Amino acid sequence: MKFNGRFYDLTGTVHLSTAVVFFIAVCCLFPLPFPHAASSISPGNPLQDGAIIVSPGGVFELGFFSPGSSKNRYLGIWYRNSAAAVAVWVANRESPVPNSFGSLAIAADGNLVILDGDGRNLWSTNVSLPLASTPVAALLDSGNLVLKTSDAIEWQSFEHPTDTYLPGMKVGLDLRTNVNHVFSSWQSSGDPAPGNFTMGMDPDRSTQIVIWENGDPCWRSGRWNGQTFIGVEGMVPEYIYGFRLNNFESEEEMYFYYNVFNSTQRFVLTPDGVAKQLLREDSGDLWTEIWAQPSVECEIYNRCGDYASCSDGVNNSPVCSCLKGFVPQPGGGCRRRMPLQCERNTTAGDKPDGFFLMPGVKLPDLSDWDPVSLNESQCKQSCSTNCSCKAYSFVTGIGCLVWARDLVDIHIFSTGGNDLYLRLAGEELGE
Ligand SMILES: *[C@@H]1O[C@H](CO)[C@@H](O)[C@H](O)[C@H]1NC(C)=O
Ligand SMILES: *[C@@H]1O[C@H](CO)[C@@H](O)[C@H](O)[C@H]1NC(C)=O
Ligand SMILES: *[C@@H]1O[C@H](CO)[C@@H](O)[C@H](O)[C@H]1NC(C)=O
Ligand SMILES: *[C@@H]1O[C@H](CO)[C@@H](O)[C@H](O)[C@H]1NC(C)=O
Ligand SMILES: *[C@@H]1O[C@H](CO)[C@@H](O)[C@H](O)[C@H]1NC(C)=O
Ligand SMILES: *[C@@H]1O[C@H](CO)[C@@H](O)[C@H](O)[C@H]1NC(C)=O
C-alpha cells in the first residue's frame, strides 16, 4: 500500500523502470535462486549430496552434512539462517554415507530412502504406502519432513525424533500400546548415532519427563501441576516456557508440547545426558541457554538412595541423610528403624502412627494419584487408613498423592518444593 501511494503520481514510464530496478534489487539482496530451489522431493527427482531443500518460508534446510570433525555424511535438517550449525534432526544416524555420493530419493515402493553412490539402500522411512500412490517429501517451516500422498501424511520426521524437541512436536507415550516415543542423545558431537541417554514421558503415566541412561532413570522433572514441573527447583510458570500437557484423557497419547513467539527455541538432549532449552531472539543469531537439567548433583536420580534425602552442600555437593525414623543400611540407602504400628501386633501402651512433615522437597518418585481425596484432610485420612501408605502430599494443581512403593529420589530444595507427610511409628514422633 505504501509503495502504491509513493508511486501514484509518477508517470507510467518512471513507474515501470522504478519497479524493474526494485525487482533487480530484491533479486540480488535475497538469495532467491536457491541452489536447488525446491522444498520437496518427488519420484525421479532425488536430492544429491551438495544440494539442499529449503522450507517454503526459508526457516529450515535439509541436506547432507558432516558433524564435527567427522568425514561421514548424514542427511539432516538445520536452521537456514543460523551461523551456528545446528542439526535438529538426522535420518541415517546409524548408517552414514562414507563419501559425498549419497542421495535422498523416493524409491519404487514410495518410501523415502538414502542411497550410497552404488545405489545401496542405507536408510528408509519403511512404511507401507498405498499402491499406485505418488508420494512427495516436503520440508515444512516447522522443521518437519513429511512424506505424503494426496490423501494422507504417511510418515513424518516429527514422529521419529532424534535429540531435539522442536515447537509443534507431539511425541510421547501411546496410552493404548504403552509404546514410548523418546528423544535420544547423540553419541558425541561428531557422531549422531544414538548415545546412552534417552528422554521422554514417564511410562508410569505420572505426567513427568524422565531422562534415562542406558534405560535407568537418571533425572526426572516431577509431576506437571498445570503450570510447572514440581520437581524442577525455581521453575516459573508456563507462560515463559510455553509448555502444555495435552488432554490425555480424551486423546490416546500423553505428551507435552510448546509454542513460542518472537524467538526460535529448541530443547536438546546432549551426549552427556543434560536436557537444555535454548533460545535465539529472532533479531539475532545467539543461542542462549535458558534451562538445563540436571543442574546439581542432588538432581541425579536417587543420588542418596532409598529413604534418604539429598541437600545441596558447599559448591552444590550432595549431602545425604536418612529420612527421620530411618537408619543407614548396608549397601546404601536407609531402612525404617521402628515398624509402623499398623504393621505390628499392638500391645498395650503403643502409640498410634503419625505423620512427620518434610517441607520444601522434590517429592519422591513412584507416587500414586488418589482421585477420590479432594482436600488435604481427606488425603491424610486416605493414607492413614491403608497400612501400605508410607507418605502423602496434597499438591495444588494435582491433588492427593500417596506413596505405597519405596521412597526414592528426594531432594531438599533451597526454595520452593512441596510438603511431604512421612508416616512414622508414634514412638519416632515427638517427645
Ligand atoms: C522395516 O519395517 C519392518 C516391519 O515393521 C521391520 O521388520 C524392518 O526391520 C524395518 N526395516 C528397517 C530398515 O528399518
Ligand atoms: C555409554 O555407556 C557404556 C556402558 O555403560 C559406557 O561403556 C560408555 O562409555 C558410555 N558412553 C558414553 C559416551 O558415555
Ligand atoms: C512479539 O512481537 C510483537 C510485535 O513485534 C509484539 O507485539 C508482541 O508483544 C511480542 N510478543 C511477545 C510474546 O513477546
Ligand atoms: C502377631 O501375633 C501372631 C499371633 O501371636 C503371630 O503369629 C504373628 O507372627 C505376629 N505378627 C507380628 C508381625 O509380630
Ligand atoms: C474436605 O472435604 C470434606 C468433604 O467434602 C469436607 O467435609 C471437609 O470439611 C473438607 N475439609 C477441609 C479441611 O476443607
Ligand atoms: C492400599 O494401598 C495399596 C497400594 O496403593 C492398594 O493396592 C490397596 O488396594 C489399598 N488397600 C485398600 C484397602 O484400599
The 10s digit of each residue's pLDDT in 77-91 is 999 988 778 999 999
Model confidence at 239: pLDDT above 60: no
Q: Is residue 126 lining ligand 1, measured as CB closer than 6 Å?
A: yes
How much distance in Å is there from the Cα of 196 to the middle of ligand 2? Answer: 6
Cross-sheet strand order for the sheet of 399-403: 318-322, 308-312, 410-412, 354-362, 418-424, 391-395, 399-403, 368-370
CATH number of the domain at 40-159, please? 2.90.10.10
Dist CA 431 CA 399 (whole Å): 32
Q: Is it true that the peptide bond before 294 is cis, omega within 30 degrees of 0?
A: yes
3 state SS of 176: coil
Q: Is residue 124 lining ligand 1, measured as CB closer than 6 Å?
A: yes
3 state SS of 387: coil
Pairing mode, strands 368-370 and 263-269: unpaired
Ligand 3 proximal residues by C-beta, below 6 Å = 261-262
Higher-confidence position of 4 and 166: 166
How much distance in Å is there from the Cα of 375 to the middle of ligand 5? Answer: 6
How much distance in Å is there from the Cα of 371 to the middle of ligand 5? Answer: 15
Task: Give me the pLDDT at residue 249, please.
Answer: 85
Q: Please report which confidence band the pLDDT of residue 240 belongs to, taking 50, 70 and 90 as the band edges.
A: low
pLDDT tens for residues 379-418? 999 999 999 999 999 999 999 999 999 999 999 999 999 9
Task: Give me the pLDDT at residue 241, please.
Answer: 61
Which among 353, 358, 330, 331 has a CA at the least distance from the CA of 342? 353
Dist CA 184 CA 90 (whole Å): 11
Task: Give me the pLDDT at residue 350, please.
Answer: 82
Dist CA 202 CA 172 (whole Å): 9
Q: Is residue 270 lining ligand 2, measured as CB closer than 6 Å?
A: no
Task: Give me the pLDDT at residue 92, please.
Answer: 98
Mean predicted confidence (pLDDT) in 50-65:
95
Mean pLDDT of the chain: 88
Contact 79, 59 (CB under 8 A): yes
| Nearest atom (ligand 1) to Cα of 121 | 13
Task: Give me the pLDDT at residue 1, please.
Answer: 27
How much distance in Å is there from the Cα of 281 to the middle of ligand 3? Answer: 12
Q: Please report which confidence band the pLDDT of residue 345 belongs to, taking 50, 70 and 90 as the band edges.
A: confident
Dist CA 89 CA 164 (whole Å): 7
| Nearest atom (ligand 1) to Cα of 123 | 13
Annotated domain spans of the chain: 40-159, 164-295, 305-424
Model confidence at 52: pLDDT above 80: yes
